[in-house]
Structure 1
Amino acid sequence: MSCLKGFVKMGGENFGFLIWVSSITFLLCLCHGYVPVDNYLINCGSPNNVTVTGRVFISDNLASNLLATPSGILAASNHNSVSDIYQTARIFTGTSKYSFSVARGRHWLRLHFSPFHHQTFQMESAKFSVSSQTHVFLSDFTVKPRVVTKEYYLNVATDHLELTFTPSGNSFAFVNALEVVSVPDTLISGDPPFAGSHGTFQGLSSQALETVHRVNMGGPRVTPDSDTLSRTWETDSEFLVEKNLVKNVSKIPSVDYVTGYATEETAPKSVYGTCNEMNSGANPSSRFNVTWEFEVETGFQYFLRFHFCDVVSKSLNQLFFDLYVDSMMVVRDLDLSTYVNKLAAAYTMDYVTVSPKQSEIIRVSIGPSRLQGVYPNAILNGLEIMKMNNSKGQLSKGTFLTSGSTKKNNVGVIIGATVGSLLALVLLGGFFLIFKKRRRVNHSKTWTPLSTKGAASGSSGTTVASITSNSSYRIPLAAVKEATNSFDENRSIGVGGFGRVYKGVLQDGTQVAVKRGNPKSQQGFAEFKTEIEMLSQFRHRHLVSLIGYCDESKEMILVYEYMKNGTLKSHLYGSGLPSLTWKQRLEICIGSARGLHYLHTGDSKSVIHRDVKSANILLDENLMAKVADFGLSKTGPEIDQTHVSTAVKGSFGYLDPEYFRRQQLTEKSDVYSFGVVMFEVLCARPVIDPTLPREMVNLAEWAMKWQKKGQLEHVIDQSLRGKIVPDSLRKFGETGEKCLADYGVDRPSMGDVLWNLEYALQLQEAGVDCDQEDDNSTNMIGELPLRFNDYNSRGDTSVNVGVVAREGRFGEGEEESCVDDLSGVSMSKVFSQLVKSEGR
């Protein structure tokens, strides 16, 4: 009875009642056919449960464990003119969270708002943001005095979903009701083609979608109780440009769901069984299009799902018509029977708009085919239009800021999309790149602009041209030079294997890190291309965001979000920065693990980072960790494969020994590298130091020696002595040890690593609280003296021809590191890593 999951976790004195309510809900789910694994229906700010369209919304007082402090203010309306869930609301004067334990996969998130008069709060003046761990749904949001439902479709890649309500400035936030409900993972999947253009959209599975319009053509309004996924389908009359050009058709009983195509979860029969048909009459020469116009927000791409079911034809191959989006031909001479080979069979077609919308209108048209001897007719049964998150993970263009009266929350500060001047520069750059003539030169010998390599294959099987065709990522060289003061050396903040990194400021004031490729570097086009391919496909709060790239005049430049606090490595040793606390280190490890876990599980195919190290973990102004540098990243194995066979690449000291021996790459290779980072965080020393005694040269090997003895306290950072709760250290050490298992099959997944790290943090916080109450510090770990040197400026090393150092740093105060000659160092069997010409 998986449908009970959303309720039985609430527990407490009302458990018996909740079981009864859950049983009723479960029976309703059975009647609908689809049984959601998670089914949280929350009536906010009310002491009572309410039933709406056959579904029971549970009081969030009964589910108080879902609310993080501050719990908010309960408000009730004096009016009875609205549905029961809108009679009450929970008001937040500071940043607050709802946290849901969920199964990983696709979910509906529905937010219900309806401001009413309150003696203290004018709810229609509320201004706030709503976000999850990975996306921003609403920014600077205000609600007019009416019922508003915001519906989102998202993939949850962890075992919990956090919804954070953040008041803007001195305002407040509120919500009347919440829904977090599982949906079939196959509901929206694949790589849909672009509407009216060549190519397909990559990475749909990592997108969050907001329902903007869901329309039943030619039929009545469909309410949630008539839809297995509790959706609402509006009538199309208000969107039709010329209502007299169509006639309504209704043949609901004739609808057939053919195996392998649309299902009842795709859309109900009441949608497929009705349609709007061209009102051609008896005129065989009718030549007009039926058009619908839908208002949308500019600056976003949109996912469009067309629902078709031929309930008008008498025989197969009788109906032919054309489909248009924004005056662009999407399908010519569409014959539905060629897809399903059956009349009245439900079928869908998915498309994505080519680029972010510059117009506030999406126009959809159907019209007669130009084929000879075909009667002029066309139909459309239903349409869904969903907004796709932008490159910053946002579904709203407002500025997402924390409340001025509270601390910055852990979701981080996500800057709103600044379309204005930057968009103008992007368009100018796109125009320039289209018409500029370029020489075609072999990229293995010289640096060549990416736009001249449109035929080069990407690692995911697509072409570079198809991936980088979105002009919103391309930034003109002139804009980059202006941002960096023509690459002023005073703005240089680091040097890596790819080239020098500069701090820049775009015209809209956004601070960025500009990585300029060095033509003499052994890293080149492949890494540049991979970085763009990877970062343009996904967005996550724990992955460094790609702002854009430039490939003009033989330049290869990557522009990232600026990370004020630089690399994790610089905060551990060699820079003189203040030491991090154990809690800060655990939170950094947790953030990094979340980013890697998303890479491994958050897309239709996993992505293996292949260069996990402390120098590639960056920290923002709040010390929130983000994984960076995807130049070596590789798409993971297919479903029927166990690994990817590839040349060995990675950084010396972090490299998975099994990957090195067998040249077979898996996600567990990242897990091994992360295990090394964990001990680097604990010990605050380089992973390889040839100046030390032989048994101490390799950090992971040395730390594992003491971990297996149960004496890990011998190797911890001196600044942490007496400050680590024993249970926290034990859990941390056990997790690191499992990550460093010789064979990948014995290592945990990044999801398991993340869970253990969060548990280690809980143990630390619980232990500290107990210690403060008892005023007793004897429970803390680390009183033994350290057994290694003080590290001032040692850098990590990387495998490459002659062993080349590579530091992908974007922070301030970083210097180019030197690499000692390791040829005379005797290493253990695990770290006897040969120098490969293909490696790094």
Structure 2
Amino acid sequence: MASEATLHFLALAFLSLLRFSTPFAPSDNYLLNCGASANASLDDRVFVGDSARPGSLFLARGESVSLADQNPPLNSSVLYRTARVFSSASSYEFKINESGIHLVRFHFSPFEAPNFDLKVAAFGVSVGGFPVLSNFSTRVTVLREFIIYLKEGDLEIMVSPMRGSGFGFVNAIEVLSAPENFIIDVGARLITAAEIQEYKNLSLQVLETIHRINVGGPKVTPFNDTLWRTWIPDDDYLIFKPAAKPAVATDPPHYQKGGATPEIAPDSVYMTAQQMNQDNSSVNGKFNITWEFPVSSGDGRYLVRLHFCDIVSRALNQLYFDVYINGYSAYNNLDLSVLTYHMLASPYYIDFVVDSDRSGVMQISVGPSDLSNPMRINAILNGAEIMKMMGYVTASSGAHKKNVWVIVGATVGSFGVMLLLVVGILLAMKCKKKKPKRRPSESVAWTQLRVYGGSSQSKTSVGTLNTSPGTNGYLSLRIPFVDVQLATNNFDKNLVVGSGGFGMVYRGALKDGTKIAVKRGVPGSRQGLPEFQTEITVLSKIRHRHLVSLVGFCEEQSEMILVYEYMEKGSLKSHLYGLGLPPLSWKQRLEICIGAARGLHYLHTGSAQGIIHRDIKSTNILLDENYVAKVADFGLSRSGPCLNETHVSTGVKGSFGYLDPEYFRRQQLTDKSDVYSFGVVLFEVLCARPAVDPLLAREQVNLAEWAMQWQKKGMLEQIVDHHLAGQIKPSSLKKFGETAEKCLAEYGIDRPTMGDILWNLEYALQLQENGRIREPHEASDAIDSGLPSAGYVPGIPPSDVGIREDGGDGSSDISTTRVFSQLITNEGR
């Protein structure tokens, strides 16, 4: 009997040979075999020789010669055995029969011939007056594809040699109409640090195809594609291959109106995918699949088209997952069942517009969402296309309009220079006026961590700190890589206790016997860099009994490793539901909530600005061997508002189900956003159920809304965890419910502070233990025991602690293992 691997190989081989769809018939379809006198057949298409007869219809003007390769390589394409060489600015002309999006492809394959070495040619190419290539040269065979709107009429394609080169060349040219709605103006999602917006007028953008990937499948050749495209396998772009497992369908996809068509991507792309590899022993729990694709290292804007087809689910509404691009949350809780009108194996694609950074890579990740059923978590991707956005064309792209771009470019350029000068002067004046004067000892930049690159929207702004990294600063936290290896037995797989988009989590012990949790980023990967820096920045400056302590970090050998104190009992969530652990008593739950409240109160009040956590949830509240609660995961934390401010304007970050609705609407962050999230945790503790559970009835899906209905009816006891039956005194339950209700007030101004919450929770504990009614605002010994005295607080970050403005990312949920809260993804939440 054939093994699973053999069957998978046969299926892929079958897909690579089978042509599923009839070729698309474009209204404009010009195929030129440049420099040739004879036609050439390739992929069931005929390329016409442009030297077939004098006065060719296509060669319009200029000086050129035909060139043939006298010693062509074996098995080389017939198109690459000849070339048209231009010694002056020369052009082809084509008759465009129908206005619309067109695919324009140029084939370049340099070879040596008498008087010409095509490898040293340098030239520019324009299409309809729009420059698509500038100072171009190549020493290898390349295909450059451009997607451009062309208007009915004459189209001029011009090749212009650069000074010093003397000539340019081309081996073959394709100009063909794209199907209707191939690029549409509405629906694309513009991904920024602040928010997701709709991007419009996409069809007027000139696009250059950079990558076209068949995820989880074999190479797709032009013969097997309806638009004669090549799709490359994704193997070389996967960051952590054990995290992914290919999926192959045996039946053709179900195309529907409103979804993808065979022209958007061929059947073979939608019939293969990568999914989460839950079977591999080196990964477990929740994690992401991540790909990195090389792009230009400078700033630029790209269209990222992702293709999806649910070929892994056995029933509808089983697959929920999140999509991240370049560290930003691009699509949360993606449900293909809804998008494809409740049909499995139905192709669908989503367009994203993303700004690149200086890293030189475009990173794409998929991972499970908070809506995922814990028993069926998964995420998929079938295909990916990355296209560089080169600029807008006008609606008149004929040859008679070829000078428009020169005029427009000069006008816009002049105006742009003037605008930049004005903005520069204003910014200089503003900085000179408002920049505080630092003492010499304070101006110390963060230089220890390698910065692999940041977004143009400043995902990372760790800049300067008001603390010098000395014996008690960052340098004292460095742990040599060899020590981490020793502590984890060289990262023994048997010591893995969790995993996430950042990488693996190991338990270990230092030389002195200290138990530690080691969070190791994928070696060489940028994913998680913002959280890596922020966690060190925050945790190196604060210490509190109810905050998880950072033991140290390691950044040697392109590693990003964080070492924490080991939390023996794991996350609060794991003790409430999901893992079958013994249920916590009501007293234990109250004490855990009190401990977490102390930690948050310390964050909010320990410095002039305080620190806002931004991701409070049950998975980020951890328990030590004595069930003492500690707040963890500071990857999204940031400084609070200044004394003369009421809020911080920032992009929305957080976890689904816990997110403050006012913060979400107004993008104004305060410490009351943490209070709202903590209110959800309180109900989570009381009811022992997730903040969001899509498998429940509609009115019960959102815990906060459902619990508030019962609280307002005065019937909260009806939804209490059944393990607590008969344990809770009514007075204690009443105070607890009132506290949670106040936390979930619609407006932050109506919510209590963490100090008030702490007071009320301790009151609820007293009512539970002895029924004693505390006098209003009676002092709390518990508060004093965990918090520093008023006034100066050692170890609290100063007002410009250097926490990121946007918060970076990280996913909404994590692997609830016995160690601590591990991010699913560390580049976009």
* TM-score grouping bracket, smaller chain normalisation: 0.3 to 0.5
Higher-Rg structure is 2
The alignment's TM-score, normalised by the length of structure 1, stands at: 0.44
